[in-house]
Amino acid sequence: MIFNIIFGFFGLLVGSFLNVLIFRFPEMKGLISGRSYCPKCKKNIAAYDLIPVIGYIILRGKCRNCQKKISLQYPIVELATGVLFFLLAITIGINYQLIIYLLIACVSLLIFVYDAKYLEIPEVFSWLLLIFVIISSFLNPHFLVQDFLLGGLIGGGILGIMVGISNEKMMGSGDIKIGLAFGFLLGIYRSILFLFLSFIIGAIAGLVLMASRKKKMKSEIAFAPFLILAAIISIVWGNQIVNLYLKFAMI
């Protein structure tokens, strides 16, 4: 358990790096190097204010220099990365496979936030996701080629058909690659669960957004966040859910 918690804290730190990537990616400036600065007053941020989540709480969400609000994205992404690292350490166990799963988690979070923010998925992110998934599948000692291929066919195929029918209004081609990647990773049964969950989460989120009048019926909503939430649930609890379903279906 102690190692899982350590991985959780490590995730908080990685999360603050992911935030920097998301904010600086559109301009590609000082992506890796370069000190962190307030996007409003451009003043460098002190190291002690950069402590994940805690820095935000101590500053009460305001820049120490200009008092302007700090985006809630910072603590949310940090916390989400921490929780995800913790859950994956429990699910996968502390082994070499965990490393590739953590990379998959990082790219997924990048896609999640990027799509939610800018309504687009950079090609490099979706390709990285596919590559990491393929590596992880081949590293898996229980790898089954037909499960891998059929999972991909379900995940990528069904989303591909939906993109075609909806004329890219509801989802885009970037979403197909994400569906394909998680389909490969999850195999046949969990891919079906994954798609099913993504549509349910999407429908609920759409209704909530419309009820709160943040979105209109026809306005564009990013779909990748729903795919990623569904994928996380399917990776962490997918086997239990599928087994439970099969048990009840047998009765």
Kindly list the residues in this chain that would bind Zn ion in the complex (CB under 5 A): 38, 40-41, 63, 65-66
Residue with token string 């490590």: 10
Chain mean position to CA 27: 22
Nearer to Zn ion, 39 or 164 (CB): 39
Give least dist CB 48 to Zn ion, A: 16
Nearer to Zn ion, 34 or 164 (CB): 34
Q: Which of 198, 77, 226 is nearest to 85 (CA)?
A: 77
Residue with token string 């305001």: 62
Give least dist CB 110 to Zn ion, A: 25
Give least dist CB 65 to Zn ion, A: 5
Give least dist CB 71 to Zn ion, A: 12
Nearer to Zn ion, 65 or 97 (CB): 65
Query: Are 204 and 172 within 8 A, CB to CB?
Result: no
CA distance linking residue 129 with residue 3, whole number of Å: 26
Cα atoms found within 13 Å of the Cα of residue 115, Cβ hemisphere only: 25
Residue with token string 């209704």: 207
Nearer to Zn ion, 43 or 169 (CB): 43
Query: Are 31 and 25 within 8 A, CB to CB?
Result: yes
Give least dist CB 42 to Zn ion, A: 7
Q: Which of 29, 33, 181 is nearest to 107 (CA)?
A: 181
Nearer to Zn ion, 65 or 71 (CB): 65
